Structure 1
Amino acid sequence: MRTQVAVIGAGPAGLLLSYLLHSEGVEAVVLEARDREYVRQRVRAGVCEQPTVELLTEIGLGDRLVREGLPHEGFSLRFDGQDHRIALTELTGRSITVYGQQEIVKDLVDAHERQGLPLEFEVSDVAVSDVDTSRPVVRYVDAAGVSQVLECDAIVGCDGFHGVSRPSIPDGGLQFFEREYPFAWLGVLAQTPPSHEELIYTHHPRGFALHSMRSPEITRLYLQVDPGEDLSAWSDDRIWSELSLRLAVDGEFTLREGPILDKGITPMRSFVAEPMRHGRLFLAGDAAHIVPPTGAKGMNLAVADVRVLSRALVSLAKGDPTPADAYSDTCLRRVWRAEHFSWFMTTMLHTDPGADAFARRLQLSQLRYTASSRAAATSVAENYVGLPFGG
C-alpha cells in the first residue's frame, strides 16, 4: 500500500492530524491498536483551551462542542478554608470549555467515517523502518490478521508515551528530560450534577483535591494519593468522605454525591523528548511529551502540535521542507512553557510528603500571592486559557 502520511494512533492528535491533512488534499492513513468502541469511550481530559475550541470550530467540528460544552470564565482556588476565584475572562478576555476528550474523539471518528477517510482499528505488530530515507515504511498486521506494508512520505507517531513510535528512533537520536512526582491522582467519574459551576483546585494539608465536571449530570473528581496506593482500599464512602473534607470551605459548600461510575489511579510525571522528529518520523502529543494534569495542558498540547505539523506536512508534500525542519523547535517553545506551568500548578497545590516546614511556608506564600495579586492571577489565567499555537 502507498499513502503520503502514516499516522500511528487514533487519539485526538492522530485523528485531528489526519482530518487536517485530508482537508488540504494530503492523503493519510490512521492505524490504531485498540478497537473502535474502546477508542470512543476511554475517559481522558476535559478542559479545552480557547485556541483548541477555535480550531475545532474553524474546521467544522465544533457544532456539538458549542452545543454541549460548558464554557467557564474562571475557576476556584481553595486553601486555608477560603475560596478565591481566578477570573479567566476578566483577566485575559478568553475562557476555557469543559468538553471531554472522548467527545472530541467521537466527533473525529464520526467525521472520518462520514467522509470515508482511512482509519484502521485493531492493528498489531506495528513496526517502523527506513525513517532516515524519503520513503519510510510501516509494517503491521490488520484486524483480519493479514500482514501489511505501508509505504509513505512521512510517519507521525501519535501513539502516546508507551507507543512504538518513539522507541523506533535509534539510540542517541533523542534527549530525554523527565521528572516524577511523589504523589498520584485517584480520579473518579460520578453520576451526579457538579457541586459548583466552575472547577475547584484545592490545596489541603491532607493533599490536593480537584472538582471538575463532564456534563450537567456527570462530575469528575480527583484526590491526591500516594503513587503506590491500593485502589481497592478506597471504597466509595471513603472517597466521598475525603473529598468532602478537602473541598470544604468556611462558608457554605455541599458536595453532591452519587454513584461512582469509574475510578483509577494515575501517576504524575513530566517528560519531554527532544527533538520531536527524526528523519521522516515525527512525534506529536504524548509520544513526545507528558505533563502532570494539574495545568490541563496534555490534550491541548497535542492539538497545538498537530496544528503546526499539519501545515508542515502540507508544505512538505508541495516540495518545501522548511516548515517540517522547523517543526520541533516551533512546538518545543510552547511545550516547555506548558511544562513549566504544569509543574508550577502541581508544586503549588499538592502536599509534598517530603517537604520540610520551610518549603510548606513558601508554598502557602505562593498561593496567597496568586490569589491576592492581579498580576500573578493574570499570569495564571493567561497560561490556563491557552497561548497561541505558533507555527
Structure 2
Amino acid sequence: MTHTTVAVIGGGPAGLLLARMLHNAGIDSVVLESRDRAYVEQRQRAGMLEQGTVDALRECGAGARMDREGLPHNGIELRFDRRAHRLDFPALTGGSSVMIYAQTEIVKDLVALQLDEGGPLLFEAQATAIGDGYVTYRHEGQEKTLTCDFIVGADGFHGISRAVVPSGRVYEADYPYSWLGVLADVAPSTDELIYAHSPRGFALHSMRSPTVSRLYLQVPNDTDPAAWDDEQIWDELDLRFAIDGDWKLARGPITAKAVTPMRSFVTEPMRHGRLFLAGDAAHIVPPTGAKGLNLAVADVVVLARALEHWRRTGKDDLLDDYGDICLRRVWRAEHFSWFMTTMLHLAPGQSDYETRLQLAQLHRIATSEAAAAELALNYTGTV
C-alpha cells in the first residue's frame, strides 16, 4: 500500500495536465491510466485550443513544442449558399485567437514531462474501486491499493469515477446524426477551419499540421466508416464545401476513418466527498463548438488552484466552490455547442422552414458585427 496526496484516475490531457500543475505547486500525485502508453499517445481527439488552454500549457512548462509546431488561427470561415464568410477573431474579441495543436501531441508532451520530472504515471493500471480516501487498482497482474487525501476522476464518460457519485442529476441529449472523420496525408486546403452548411449536410475542414488534413462529414447514426471509400469521401466533401469561385479541395491518401456520435451530457454535482470529476467524466459536448478538451483543461486549472490553496492555507473553501465554478463555464459551452450544431447540421426529415431558419441565423452572423462577435467570443473562450 502506498500513499499520495492526489490520486488521478485517467492519463488523458486532463489528468496529465493536473498532475503537472500539482507537481509545479509542490503537491504529490499518482496517475493511474488503464491503457498502455502507445494507445494514450495515439488516441485521436480534439485539436483546437482556446487561449486559456494555450496559456495553461505554457504556464506549466508544456508549451514549448506547441509554440514551435502549433498553428495559430485568427478566425474561422462559415460557408453557406455557396458563399464564404470569414470571422476575424482578434477584431471581434479584442485580440483573442485559437491554436491548432493535436491532443495526441499535448499528451506526448505531458507524458514526457511526467515521466522525467513528475510523480508516478502508471500505464495499464486499471482502477477497480474508489473509496473514502483510497483507490484500488490492478497493475502488473496484482491488486494494489493507493491511499490518498483526494481523488480526481479524469477517466472519461465510461470510467469508474462517474458511477461513484451518488444521487447525481444527469442532463443529456443525443443528436440524430454523427460525424465521419478522416485524417489525410495532404496539406490543408485552407489556412483556417471551414464550417460548411450545405443542402447535403454539414462538413468541416480542419488540420493537424501543415501536411495533415482533418476533415468531417455529417452522416447518419450507426454509419459504418468502411462503407465509405476514399473517392466517395472526397467527392462528398467537394460537394459540401462548394462555393462560387476558384477554391479547390486538395485530395490525398486517407490514413484513418472513424464515426463519432454527437451528444451532450452534464452530471451534477462534480464532487462527492474527496472525489472530484473533471473533463468527460462530468460533461460532454458535441464537437462542433470545439469545447471538449478546453472544458477539461478549465476544470483542472480550477481544481489545481483550489488544491494549492488548500495546501498553503489548510482551507477547503475553494475546493467547496469547484463544481459551481466549473459548471457555470460548462453550461455556457453546452449552449454554444448546441447552437453551432443545430445551426449547421440538417436533421433527418428537416423541413424547408427549419432550413430557412438556419440560413437566416447564418446570414445574421455574416452581416452583423454583434452576432459575429457573440460567436467569436464563445468560440475563443473569451466568455
Establish whether TM, by shorter chain, passes 0.5.
yes
2-structure distance, mates of 1:71, 1:315: 33
- For 1:1-391, list aligned pairs within 5 A: 1-92=2-93, 93-130=95-132, 136-142=133-139, 144-170=140-166, 172=167, 174-317=168-311, 318-387=313-382
SS at match of 1:195: coil
2-structure distance, mates of 1:116, 1:301: 24
2-structure distance, mates of 1:230, 1:213: 23
TM-score, structure 1 normalization: 0.96
1-structure distance, mates of 2:109, 2:143: 30
SS at match of 1:214: strand
1:125 Cα deviation from its structure 2 partner = 4.9
2-structure distance, mates of 1:324, 1:190: 44
Letter matched to residue 58 of structure 1: E
Q: Which ranges of structure 2 fall in alignment gaps of 5 or more residues? A: none
2-structure distance, mates of 1:59, 1:319: 23
1-structure distance, mates of 2:339, 2:309: 36
Identity rate of aligned residues, in percent? 59
Letter matched to residue 32 of structure 2: L
TM-score, structure 2 normalization: 0.98
2-structure distance, mates of 1:46, 1:97: 8
Give the number of equivalent residue pairs.
380
1:114 Cα deviation from its structure 2 partner = 1.4
2-structure distance, mates of 1:116, 1:169: 29
Letter matched to residue 331 of structure 1: C
Normalized per residue, the structure richer in strand is 2
SS at match of 1:219: strand
1:368 Cα deviation from its structure 2 partner = 0.6
Answer yes or no: is the 8 Å Cα contact 2:41–2:104 preserved in 1.
Answer: yes
2-structure distance, mates of 1:13, 1:102: 13
1-structure distance, mates of 2:173, 2:210: 36
Q: Which residue of 2 aligns with 1:133?
A: none
1:116 Cα deviation from its structure 2 partner = 4.4
1:289 Cα deviation from its structure 2 partner = 0.2
